[in-house]
Structures are given as structure tokens and as C-alpha cells.
Structure 1
Amino acid sequence: MDATGADAGGMARTAKSGGVRAAKAAANRARMLAAARDLFVAQGYASTSMQAIAKQAGMAVQTLYFTFATKRAILTEVLDVEIAGDTEPVATLDRPWVAEALAADPAGQLRLQAAASARILTRVAPILEAVRSTAAHDPEIAELWQTNIAQRLTVQTRFAEALAAKTGLRAGIGTDRAADLMLAAFAPEAFHLLVHERGWQVAEWEANAGDTLIRQLLPDGPQSG
């Protein structure tokens, strides 16, 4: 084998080895995030230590600190992953379901928003409840909670603007108020109360949220969707 062949073989082995290491690192990261999520939900953020997360994940605590540095960093990434449903670096407003909803007729848009919110909140409402309950006495987590609200409002404002461009909103409703009503209808607190505390089925919550926004935001008359 000539030098060129030897170099190519070495590069292939190096690439393969790097791929294996990357896959192992990603799997370990996912284990740590899953362990943190389960513990934050089960016993609260404040009561969960880095040592406990490492033990739950079956990892050395030094590995946990090396990967995330702080408990808040873990919580932030847990939220990001649970909201997205994956680890892809794609913003919410760039997700395919958003484009589908924005392209729908007015009632269809609101029902697609409710369907997406049901899927997202099924994943993230328990961890958001842990964040909300901690925010009352932890300034760092209070800041994280406010950031989450602001992010949700940004998304709903985009939807409200799109809705207003498709149809005249109900009299007295502007885009700011429409965004606020969407924010309230899809609030994780309401989802947690009705689904986890009152025993509603997720499909019932979804239908109610969509119907409520159609009544609140759209003018009277036949609506598609």
C-alpha cells in the first residue's frame, strides 16, 4: 500500500473513532438530562443535587460538572429539549408545525396551535411546574421563568399577527391582546391544573383551548378548520 492509501486508511479510522466518541458523548448527555428531568419533577429543583443527578444517570459527578458546569445549565437544557422534543438546534418559529399553522385558515391555525401546544406541554408542563414553584424563592430560576414566559409570548405574538392578517379579529381585540389570550390559553399552569390535577384527557384540553380561542378571537360567522 502506498503512502496515499495509508493516509486515507488512517483518516477513515480517525473519523470512525471520532464518530463513536461523539455518539457516546451524546448518549451520556441524554442520560444526564433524562436523570435531571426525572429528579426535578419528582422532588423539585432545589432538593436535587448534582450528586443525585450523577447517581441517577450512572455517571461520575465530575463528568456531570464537566458537561454542564452548573445545575441551572442542566435545567436550561432540559427545558430546551423538552420544548423542542429533540436536540436539533432549530428555533420554535422555524419548526415545520409553525409553518403549517401559519398557512392554515384562521380557525385551522388556532386548532393547529392547540394541537402543537398539547404535544409540547405533555412533555414540558411537569418540568415547567418545577421551575415555577422554585422561582418564588430562587432569583436565578425566577429569571429563567420570566425568560420562558417572554419566549412563549414572542411565539404567540407571531401567531396573533398572522391571524390578524388573515381575518379581522373580534371587535376590540388587537394583536397584543390576541397574543395575551393565546399565552393564557396555552399556559403550562392551566395545562397542569386541568390535565394533572383535574384529570382531563390531553385531547379534551386541546379541543377546549382551540374552541376558546376561536370564540375569543374570531368574528362571528362561519369559520373553517
Structure 2
Amino acid sequence: MDDPSHSPASAPQPAATPTESPVPTRRSRRAMQTLAMKTDIAEAARALMLERGYVATSIGAIADEAGVAVQTIYNSIGNKSDVLSAVLDLAAAGPAAPSLVPAVMRERIAATRTPPDVIAVLADWFAEVHVRTAAVFQVIAQAAAVDPEIAKLEQRRATQRLVNYGEAAAALRERRGLRRGLSDHEAAALIWSIGHPQVYRTLVGDVGWSLDAYRSWLRTALTAALS
């Protein structure tokens, strides 16, 4: 029998080459570049609209601020109302961008076990998101008063929020957290009303509540309304 110490199989082998990270495809690189460009446009638009207002901010000014061509904005996002909608999306998502709010909330609610956990997620979310979006909602409200297209945007986004809160209502029902006789649609409307941006603007912005006081009130109000 051959000595295994001298067999070819036992000869020193070259070190294994580390597994290389997958190289992004041309399509994925293009998608990342497009996403980065849209973010730059939305950030530029937000800065200008908060400074000048919606009406006084032109697509040309946004293009100059973002360092892109005007047609690039139309091709990648759309018209000025579409840009404002993108500004709201970016502000609402915050650090989770480019994920959209519904995906963020589904993940947070999926991690809950009890009805109070769901209420806490909602209260924390409203306290978190309104800090980022209050100024944008103010721009929308002012523009909606003079621009029918923005009025439609305001209505559409409000309806979207109402639909999305239906998922939170369903999660409460699954965890036996909705009081008897309250439908998911009614529960969604209660969540929508209590967490409305105008309520935050009045209590925190006008009356001067602290963010902690607002969050505590949200938990109390949501619990009383839904349980």
C-alpha cells in the first residue's frame, strides 16, 4: 500500500480563494443610480419648497438645485405635484428610505405580540413621523388652497393613510385587541383621526405640548378608542 504521506492527495494545496462579493449587474447599478438621483431631486425640492413655498418653487429651480436637467425630473419623477409627493415619501420614510412607510409599519407591527404592543408602535410612529413631515404637510396644505392638483394630492394621500391603517386595525383584531362591535374600517378611521397631522400640528406646534406628552396622549387616546 502506498504511503499516504506521499500521495498526491496529501500534497500541500493552495489556499482557498475568498468568495468574492457579487458584482452588481448593469441593471442594478442603473437602478441604484436612478434611486440616488430621485433622492437628490426630492431633497432639493424639499429645501426650496420649505424656503419659498410650493407655488414659488419652479421645476427649473429644483433642477438647478439638484444639478440635473429639467427633463430628467419629468422622466424620473413626474410633474411638480409628483415631486411634492416624492418629498413627502422621503420625509415620512426617514432613515428607512427608500423603503416606503407601509413596508416599514408592516415590519414593526409584525414584530408585536399583544394589543398594547401594536398601540405602542402606532404612538411611537406618529410621534416620530410627524416631526419629519410637519413642515411638508404645511406646504401641502398651503398649496392645496390655491392649486387643485395639490388639493387632489392631499386628498389622495389622506385616503392612502386611512387604507394603510386598516392593516393596523386587522393586527389588533388578530391579537384580540379591538373592542366588540368595532369594525376594522371604523378602527382605521379612529387611528387616522387620532394620528392626523393636523392634530400633531395643533397640540405640539400651536399649543406647545412636548413630544413625550404627545406620545403619551396618543397611547391613551388610541387605547381608549380601540380597546
TM-score with structure 2 setting the length: 0.74
1:1-225 pair list within 5 angstroms: 19=29, 23-85=32-94, 86-88=97-99, 91-92=102-103, 95-100=106-111, 103-167=112-176, 169-170=178-179, 173-218=182-227
- Give a deviation string over 1:109-163, Cα, whole Å, max 9, x none: 1111111222222222221222123223322112211111111111222222332
**Cα drift, residue 90 of structure 1:** 7.5
Q: Which amino acid aligns with 1:51?
A: G
How many corresponding residue pairs? 203
Over 3 Å counting, the alpha-carbon distance change for 1:166 and 1:18 in structure 2 is closer
RMSD of Structure 2 on Structure 1 (CA): 3.0
- Give a deviation string over 1:157-209, Cα, whole Å, max 9, x none: 22223323433645764433322221111101111222333333323221211
Conserved? CA contact 1:84–1:92, under 8 Å: no
* 1:222 paired residue number: none
Mapped to 2, the partners of 1:65 and 1:158 lie a distance apart of 33
TM-score with structure 1 setting the length: 0.75
Mapped to 1, the partners of 2:181 and 2:35 lie a distance apart of 50
Conserved? CA contact 2:89–2:100, under 8 Å: no
* 2:20 paired residue number: none
Conserved? CA contact 2:92–2:101, under 8 Å: no
Q: Which amino acid aligns with 1:134?
A: A
Mapped to 1, the partners of 2:164 and 2:31 lie a distance apart of 33
Over 3 Å counting, the alpha-carbon distance change for 1:158 and 1:88 in structure 2 is closer
Conserved? CA contact 1:153–1:180, under 8 Å: yes
Mapped to 1, the partners of 2:198 and 2:71 lie a distance apart of 35
Where structure 2 has 5 or more consecutive residues not aligned to the other structure, the ranges are 1-22
Over 3 Å counting, the alpha-carbon distance change for 1:134 and 1:209 in structure 2 is same
Greater than 6 Å deviation, 4+ residue runs: none
**Cα drift, residue 15 of structure 1:** 5.2
**Cα drift, residue 17 of structure 1:** 11
Which secondary structure state, in structure 2, belongs to the residue aligned with residue 79 of structure 1? helix
Over 3 Å counting, the alpha-carbon distance change for 1:115 and 1:66 in structure 2 is same
Conserved? CA contact 2:141–2:154, under 8 Å: yes
Identity fraction in percent: 32
Mapped to 1, the partners of 2:212 and 2:202 lie a distance apart of 15
Mapped to 2, the partners of 1:60 and 1:169 lie a distance apart of 51
* 1:9 paired residue number: none
Q: Which amino acid aligns with 1:87?
A: P
